[in-house]
Structure 1
Amino acid sequence: MSTSFKPNDDYLHPITDHPDHNESAYYSFAVHDGLTGWVRIGNRVNDGFAEVTICLYLPDGSIGFWWDRADIRDPLLHDAGGLTFEVIEPFQHHRVTYRGPVAIFTDYRVLENPRAAFSEAERRDVAIDLTFHRASPVWSGGPDVKILDNFAGAHFEQHMSTAGTATVGEEVFSLDNGLSLRDHSWGPRRWQQISWYRWLTASFASDLGIACTMIGTDTEGEYIAHGYIHHGPESPATQIVGAKATTSYVDGWYPASVEWVISTEDGATHEVSAEVRTPLPLRHRRDGQTTRIIEGPTTYTWEGRRGVGMTEYLDLMVDGSPIGRDFA
């Protein structure tokens, strides 16, 4: 499970000539009973743009969301559309800033038709200035399987702690003592490469968190599971070797709650409950296929502890239904 990545891997990598070349970074952030959010930049240099996403789940239940195919200012930086990721010290200290708009939505389901939703939505100016500090070792122990070759060939994850603010309109939200998970991947990225996955990212304290992924390897329910439980930056993480997720869905196949059973390398079994709020639907369409990605802020409960984080569900859509609905 230990990483072979070097500090330079926390920066961007040489661009290949693969038409789907992508290098992306993602940061989530949350405080208990306060603001939750995430931001992502995916540099698709050979497509001529960066995928830029800002998502803020406000305490009143509304969502501030923005997505753009932005010009890439420098192909070896994550700096596009007003969103900038800065590596201050590799694997230790990062900074995220954003200056720009978000659209405000009070009903997450309207983004099933994003063009109409954005045309009617209120806009608010946003300023984000956050620093992220290492809370766990870097983890890169995912499976070496062919299905990931055109999705996230090189990939690592790391829990972080946060400090700073996010200003939405006139409201200022503190993210001091916040909890976070980030990931960084590079190589070809085709969103339709994987039929389905389920991703749990939970933080219970700055020195305790879980990241667990189930990835469908076919359309019949076979999957692989991997991830880690971290115990702070100076302690080895515990590798996850198996997982099962039982999901309760609401209309439209939106996850509302999930019961996770996670097995670790030490022979232990961990039961984690997840309550998902405002599960935002995103989509990617290509060659007649549609992939839906659900991103929902989540309250986790594990052995009496209460945690914060995200639930992310990716599915190919078949006849309007997510392909992984019967499996997890």
Structure 2
Amino acid sequence: MDRSAPFTACQYGADAEFTHDPAGIANYNESVYVNFVDPVSEVSALMRIGNRPTMGYSEATVQLTLPGGKVALRAGRAANETNDEWSTQGLRIAPRDATRTWDVSYRNTVAVIATPSLLADRGRQALKNSPSVECEISLTFEASVPMFTIAEGGDCTPGSSQIATDHYEQFGHVTGSVRLGSTTWHVEKATSFRDHSWGPREWASYTGEWLAAWLIDGTAITAYGEFEPTGERVSGGTVVTPDGVFHAIRDYTVYTDYAGEATYSGRNTAVITADGLPSLVLDGTINHFVPVTQRTADRAARMGQMSVRYAGGRGGWGIAEFLRPIAFPAK
């Protein structure tokens, strides 16, 4: 590998790894996201910062799914009118070697929530009344494949939803530690996925599903499915096989009746059709289901986030989301 050249398979390179000019876009959002799943400790996490300088704040999420079904969570906003870096509320996500290596650190408290379903409609109450525990995260993301996009132009989703106009992704591994109170997990090359997007974002405009999965043979998958206002289903994403070849996803069909409820007792079952590969059937047990409500203007959406295990973890594992519009609560 030539480390002097950008590690990229798309139009984005090292310059794109930093922040951009909001250009006066009223609902501008520039976000970075990193997740990981450690099948050894059965700990998984997602960490995200979104800068919304034209709206006057930054938003941060740190979410850990823990053995036994509990989750540890911090999600909130802080005043911010700049777009210089991703650092807020104790969370920092920054490139060390653009296109290859990122550092993720966090030092603050999280709420340890025994009943994640309470987050759907009583999120503030659940966060306030759950035990607050010191949390410290120190991770290094190392890319295993070049940066890529799911479609020409870099749109964040394959459909018409307004999530971002520029977007790229990358698979890799994270190494480091996660401390929650007196318990520390040492993470060694846990499977990881990151993305970076910028442009207008309207959470409640998206109805569909997303998945980042890793199979036991080394295959990595990121899949998107969205329902257009016409009812048409559009899909996107990629399957990266162990030989490093990218296979574009043409169809990602998810079999679920989830409609935005606070709980979901089904499975995460999908069929993926990708160029040059036989159909992939992914049928996973949901270990954790965390219903998060996103509100923008006069609309709201329920984001059901989950950790998934295929064949009890012997076939693979993943992090997935169901996103559904819900009725906006009356004032």
Alignment of 1:171-320 (within 5 A): 171-194=183-206, 196-204=207-215, 207-218=218-229, 221-231=231-241, 235-247=244-256, 252=262, 254=264, 256-266=266-276, 268-301=278-311, 306-318=315-327
Q: Is the 8 A contact 2:223 2:238 kept in 1?
A: yes
Does 2:10 match 1:3?
A: yes
Alignment of 1:157-168 (within 5 A): 157-168=169-180
Q: Is the 8 A contact 1:160 1:206 kept in 2?
A: no
* CA positional deviation for 1:235: 2.4
Give the structure with the larger strand fraction. 1
Q: Indicate the residue corresponding to 2:160 in structure 1.
A: 147
Q: Is the 8 A contact 2:33 2:194 kept in 1?
A: yes
Per-residue CA distance 1:110-157 (angstroms, 9 max, x = gap) = 112112112211100000000011122222033666724x31211111
Q: Return closer, same or farther for 1:299/1:199 CA change in 2, 3 Å cut-off.
A: same
The one-letter amino acid paired with 1:288 is D
Q: Is the 8 A contact 2:70 2:113 kept in 1?
A: yes
Q: Is the 8 A contact 2:90 2:107 kept in 1?
A: yes
CA distance in 1 between counterparts of 2:68 and 2:204 reads 34
Among all aligned residue pairs of Structure 1 and Structure 2, give the percentage whose two residues are the same amino acid. Answer: 24
Does 2:81 match 1:81?
A: no
CA distance in 1 between counterparts of 2:63 and 2:113 reads 11
Q: Return closer, same or farther for 1:117/1:210 CA change in 2, 3 Å cut-off.
A: same
Per-residue CA distance 1:64-114 (angstroms, 9 max, x = gap) = 000110244952211111100110112211110000010010011111211
* CA positional deviation for 1:248: 6.0
* CA positional deviation for 1:318: 4.3
Q: Return closer, same or farther for 1:163/1:192 CA change in 2, 3 Å cut-off.
A: same
Local SS of the residue matching 2:74 = strand
Q: Indicate the residue corresponding to 2:182 in structure 1.
A: 170
Does 2:28 match 1:15?
A: no
Local SS of the residue matching 1:3 = coil
Q: Indicate the residue corresponding to 2:31 in structure 1.
A: 24
The one-letter amino acid paired with 1:193 is S
CA distance in 2 between counterparts of 1:142 and 1:191 reads 20
Q: Which runs of 5 or more structure 1 residues have no equivalent in the other structure?
A: 321-328
CA distance in 1 between counterparts of 2:20 and 2:186 reads 33
Local SS of the residue matching 1:76 = coil
* CA positional deviation for 1:300: 2.8
* CA positional deviation for 1:208: 2.2
CA distance in 2 between counterparts of 1:133 and 1:206 reads 19
Does 2:69 match 1:56?
A: no
CA distance in 1 between counterparts of 2:309 and 2:117 reads 20
The one-letter amino acid paired with 2:246 is A
CA distance in 2 between counterparts of 1:243 and 1:301 reads 20
Q: Return closer, same or farther for 1:205/1:13 CA change in 2, 3 Å cut-off.
A: farther
Q: Indicate the residue corresponding to 1:125 in structure 2.
A: 134
- TM-score normalised to the size of structure 2? 0.88
Which structure 1 residue ranges, 4+ long, deviate > 6 Å from structure 2? none
Q: Is the 8 A contact 1:274 1:299 kept in 2?
A: yes
Q: Return closer, same or farther for 1:151/1:319 CA change in 2, 3 Å cut-off.
A: closer
Local SS of the residue matching 1:184 = strand
Q: Indicate the residue corresponding to 2:143 in structure 1.
A: 134
Q: Return closer, same or farther for 1:120/1:188 CA change in 2, 3 Å cut-off.
A: same
Local SS of the residue matching 2:255 = strand
The one-letter amino acid paired with 1:175 is V
Local SS of the residue matching 1:185 = strand
- TM-score normalised to the size of structure 1? 0.89
Local SS of the residue matching 1:254 = coil
CA distance in 2 between counterparts of 1:312 and 1:296 reads 6
* CA positional deviation for 1:13: 1.3
Q: Return closer, same or farther for 1:74/1:45 CA change in 2, 3 Å cut-off.
A: closer
Local SS of the residue matching 2:204 = helix
Does 2:115 match 1:107?
A: yes
Number of residue pairs matched by the alignment: 315
Per-residue CA distance 1:235-287 (angstroms, 9 max, x = gap) = 23111111211126597462631221111111521111122122111112234
The one-letter amino acid paired with 1:183 is D
